[in-house]
A and B are shown apart, each in its own frame.
Chain A
Amino acid sequence: MAETKQVIVKVKRQAGPKEAARWEEFSLKWRPSMNVIICLRDIAENPVTHDGKKTTPITYDSNCLEEICGSCAMLINGKARMACSALVDQLEQPIRIEPMSKFPLVRDLAVDRQFMFESLKRVKAWIPIDGTYNLGEGPRVSPEVQEKGYPLSNCITCGNCLEVCPQVNEHNQFVGAAIISQVRLFNMHPTGAMNKSERIAAIIGPGGIQECANAQNCVHACPKGIPLTESIAEVNRDAWKQALLSWLVG
């Protein structure tokens, strides 16, 4: 029985951002512990569709295969998730695979997440430790802050939280939950806190935290279980305080 078991996969293909999209169906041989990346690899090995037509291997991003690099996010049966942790046995067939819709398409399942990296730069999602001279040791990080910060540092910039957010779309430039959570992470670090007001200023700029409408989809979609709604609330509190002060006292 097991030898004849098939996995039916439908992939949305598009040769480039301006080309027309089409669906291709594949039937693959089932294997134990098969995940969606394995399906895409099997197709690459033998790029022949369900009805025997020869086609090209599918373009997609993946690297670590253990939900740590963040590159393999795509829509699987209509939901944003990591392909490497999407087990075939837990998916309804035919498995529909599409590229994420909120990022510019490169080809097939590969999208360009540059927007997220630009946003991280905008909010200075780093801790400046370099100077023209030795700055010496920084302040110690209390265990409490370490404990709160660690889960936030797990973000893999996969973009799932942006993909599922109703406020991230072509009408506005909302940076999305991941970026706000990074603002919280770097503001909570004692050295990072030295640039806190600059990060807050950036996050109350165009496309900033104000665009969040509290649908809270992000926290359900995050593969790393990051407490995004808590991060957004925390940054929101700092944000209105800073906005109010700057408005009252300049």
Chain B
Amino acid sequence: MSSTATRPDTSYLLRKLHSFTGILPVGAFLAEHFWSNSAALVSSEKYNTVSQELQTIPFRLIVEWGTIFLPMLFHGGYGIYIWLRGKSNVSAYPWVGNWLYTTQRYTGLIAFAYIGWHLYTERWLTHGRSTYANVAADIRNPWYLTFFVIGVLASSFHLGAGIWNFLCKWGLAATVKAQQAAGRLGALVGVAFSLVGILIIISFRYDWHPFSVYLPNK
């Protein structure tokens, strides 16, 4: 390294990009996805309207690939590469941060497998025109149901722990106190996403629409 060089190493840029894509767009998409799917909690009609709205956005393929598939493939692929270059030692040093480090890796992998399968069943097989009925039918299969639950919990945990990681790793939460606050924020996000995700699954499984009270009386 020359003493005047100020440019970062490629591995630095890739690591920062990996970290950033975890929040934007991948984390943001997860939030959007939970938000639009919670339309099921209102009614199946509302769900179908919301999904059709999303399924008919202009430049759909470009938007999907540019902001969802490619960033996720990069984050997931590079995430596995990062995993392979680390050496977990949580049995020797069972501190909380070390547990999160290890769990971050397994939940990422589970989320990756789940999202791949989820895309295949709910996007590919339905030609991108999945409806309430499609999802409800799938979720009646106990194996599908189990995988949905695991996928939701793994993704929510991964995002929650990831927010904590992100805030620490960009120096946005630097002091011990700020990092504790970041940890509480991450925990809150993880719990909130898990709850909402499970509620949505229950909604599909039992045709349960608690927010239908918002609808005008028929």
Interface residues, chain A, CB within 8 Å of chain B?
78-79, 122, 164, 166-167, 169, 171-172, 197-198, 200-202, 204-206, 208-217, 220-221, 227, 229-230, 232-240, 242-243, 246-247
Contacts and interface: CB of A to CB of B under 8 A. Distances in A.
Interface string B95-133: 101101100100000000000000000000000000000
A211 B16 CA distance: 10
Contact of A215 (B7, B85, B98, B174): B98
A171 B87 contact: yes
A164 B89 contact: yes
B8 A243 contact: yes
Q: Which 9 A-B residue pairings sit nearest by Cβ, starting from the closest?
A: A237-B171, A216-B97, A215-B101, A210-B15, A233-B174, A204-B8, A169-B87, A236-B171, A243-B8
Nearest to A236: B171
Interface of B: 1, 3-9, 11-13, 15-16, 82, 84-89, 92-93, 95, 97-98, 100-101, 104, 164-165, 168-176, 179
Given A205-B12, A233-B168, 20 more contacts: A78-B92, A122-B1, A164-B93, A171-B84, A200-B6, A210-B11, A210-B12, A211-B85, A213-B104, A214-B97, A215-B98, A220-B93, A230-B176, A232-B168, A233-B179, A235-B171, A236-B169, A237-B170, A237-B172, A246-B8
B104 to A, nearest CB: 8
A18 B135 CA distance: 60
A199 to B, nearest CB: 10
Nearest to B173: A233
12 contacts: A78-B92, A79-B92, A200-B6, A204-B9, A211-B11, A213-B104, A214-B164, A217-B97, A233-B174, A235-B171, A237-B170, A240-B171
Contacts of B92: 78-79, 164
Nearest to B100: A215
Contact of A202 (B1, B82, B95, B97): B1
A214 B92 CA distance: 17
Contacts of B86: 166-167, 169, 171, 213
A230 B12 contact: no
B174 A246 contact: no
Given A216-B98, A246-B8, A221 B93 contact: yes
Given A169-B86, A171-B84, A215-B97, A236 B170 contact: yes
Nearest to B182: A233
Nearest to B13: A243
Contacts of A166: 86-89, 98, 101
Contacts of A230: 174-176, 179
A205 B179 CA distance: 26
A206 B89 CA distance: 23
Nearest to B97: A216
Name which of B8, B87, B169 has the most chain A CB atoms within 10 A of its CB: B8
B102 to A, nearest CB: 8
A75 to B, nearest CB: 9
Nearest to A123: B1
A238 B174 CA distance: 12
B171 A238 contact: yes
Nearest to B179: A229
A213 B171 contact: no
Contacts of A169: 85-87
A169 to B, nearest CB: 4
A214 B168 contact: yes
Given A164-B89, A213-B82, A198 B3 contact: yes
A247 B174 CA distance: 24
Given A210-B16, A246-B7, A229 B1 contact: no
B1 A201 contact: yes
Contacts of B6: 197-198, 200-201, 242, 246
